[in-house]
Amino acid sequence: MSIPLPIIGVSQAIKSIKELIKHVADTALNIVITGESGVGKEVVAQNLYFNSNRKNKPFIKINCAALPDGLLESELFGYERGAFTGADQRKKGKFKLAHKGVLFLDEIGDMTLSLQSKLLHVLQSGEFSPLGSEKDIKTDAWIIAATNHNLEQAVKNGKFREDLYYRLNIIKFYITPLRDRPEDIPPLIEYYIEKYSNHFNTDKLLKPSKKVMDSLLAYHWPGNVRELQNVLKRVIILKDWEEVVNELNSSILPTSLAVKQSDESSIISDLLDPGSLETKGLESLSLKIIKKKALGRIEKEVISYVLGKTGWNRSKACKILKISYKTLLYKITDLKLEPPSNLKRKLS
Amino acid sequence: MKKKYKLLIIDDDENILAVLSKYLRGKKYAVATASNGLEAIKLFESEGKDFDFIITDLVMPYITGVGVISIVKQKRPEIPIIAITGWGEHPEALATESQADLVLKKPFELSELDNLISNLLSKNNNNDT
């Protein structure tokens, strides 16, 4: 892994996180990182790894929410050749790959109870066995788990095993939402503007005016640091603080762009037919269908964004999108796009 | 002259911290306190060699009691630790696994704690000699 993103901030919350990393990075004790989507749980995990004596060993990540149970199990523990239909060769599990390194279990709160008990067994015994194998393999993977769920609540509701909760939660990191630590916004802006200017090879942008900064500080950042990053990328491309901030405040910027921005794996689970993999197995997977769905989703997002920007002026929108008027009308119907209610009356 | 032992007491409940330290100071122990695991580890890193005994709560923010026990025992396996808890059996089992010398369930009598500390300290001294 290359050098991870630094943990930026001057708030007490961020200072405590940095301090905690320093004191526990070499202990290899199980860790749970909690916090809303987009606060930077994975960045904390990477910083832990990078500051530990395991940094030259593998850092293996798996998203527990992205895969159906059976697939997740075979990803975690691996399988032997012939373990099930289609297992035509041996596959190493993540526990094996992460031996002496880090196993980052993202979205642990979404793991099913049955897999939780298998995970608990590995954590208790330090051993696992791949599917179709009778041999137990020792593992010395440092477990760092992350979730945006409230695990205490999940334990109370019977969704998360209490014994697993205690075993994982030896060290607890909680990352405060960005809106509760606005003092971190200016240093974050400074860092990412510099980074993205270099990346997009553009001239360095002027600092935001006081008015712009006040708006940014007052905004509630539902998508946290990830949303701020997206906003800053737009500022760099559009070279206009005012416009981007106005968009933010009038919420024209589609929230899906800002908030959903979930990582690629949950997009995959989104695009797969829910449950079909479990019931019909891998054979039900079709790249063609997924491609069509993914494309449809992106088209819908882009077209609705442009329509929003043009106040649903379809002639303007089709010029911007560089498609014919007729195609645009077809897409609007096909993708079931509807103008916001305040525009509906005007248009009809 | 009798040696004055130094204890580190860790609990995120201020009241318990106050009661325990007052009582144990009265028993002629020197007492340092920490209100969470991270504070405790920092204290232990700076003056760990001065501590003769640790009493820790289990459920705490940042570094839990189990974390504190594991980290301390990696550095000083001989130091006696009592884990106190009011919770179910899972953290207790973990505490024992991470080598707490004793797990004490809340509520307990202060005199009971005092006896346990004396016993563990004298056991430790016998092992040293």
Nearest chain B residue to A19, by CA: B38
Residue with more model confidence, A289 or A191: A191
Residue with more model confidence, A149 or A344: A149
Contact B38 A16 (CB under 8 A): yes
Contact B94 A167 (CB under 8 A): yes
Contact A170 B67 (CB under 8 A): yes
Domain with CATH 1.10.8.60 in chain A: 179-253
Show the tokens assigned to A89. Answer: 């060769």
Second-level CATH architecture of B6-128: 3-Layer(aba) Sandwich (3.40)
Nearest chain A residue to B62, by CA: A172
Instruction: Check pLDDT > 90 for residue A270.
Output: no
What CATH number has the domain spanning A286-347?
Answer: 1.10.10
Question: Tens digit of pLDDT for each residue in A205-264?
Answer: 778 899 999 999 999 999 999 999 999 998 988 888 988 888 888 764 454 444 444 444
Class of A179-253 in CATH: mainly alpha
Domain with CATH 1.10.10 in chain A: 286-347
Contact B62 A171 (CB under 8 A): yes
Domain with CATH 3.40.50.300 in chain A: 12-176
pLDDT (0 to 100) of residue A147 = 97
Superfamily for domain range A12-176: P-loop containing nucleotide triphosphate hydrolases (3.40.50.300)
pLDDT (0 to 100) of residue A256 = 46
C-alpha span between A87 and A79 (Å, rounded)? 8
Question: Tens digit of pLDDT for each residue in B91-123?
Answer: 677 777 778 888 888 888 999 999 999 999 988
Of the candidates A185, A190, A218, the residue with the CA atom closest to the CA atom of residue A206: A190
Q: Does A19 touch chain B (CB under 8 A)?
A: yes
Contacts 24+ apart (CB under 8 A), B69-75: B69/B95, B69/B98, B69/B99, B69/B100, B70/A27, B70/A29, B70/A170, B70/B98, B70/B99, B71/A24, B71/A27, B71/A29, B71/B41, B71/B44, B72/B41, B72/B44, B72/B48, B73/B98, B73/B99, B74/A27, B75/B44, B75/B48
pLDDT (0 to 100) of residue A263 = 45
Instruction: Check pLDDT > 70 for residue B63.
Output: yes
Of the candidates B98, B102, B23, B87, the residue with the CA atom closest to the CA atom of residue B55: B102
C-alpha span between A127 and A136 (Å, rounded)? 6
Torsion of CA A316, A321, A327, A331, to 10 degrees: -100
The model's confidence at residue B87, banded by pLDDT at 50, 70 and 90, is: low
pLDDT (0 to 100) of residue A203 = 72
pTM for the model stands at: 0.76
Of the candidates B94, B93, B56, B86, the residue with the CA atom closest to the CA atom of residue B72: B56
- Mean pLDDT of the residues in chain B: 88
- CB < 8 Å to B45, chain A: 23
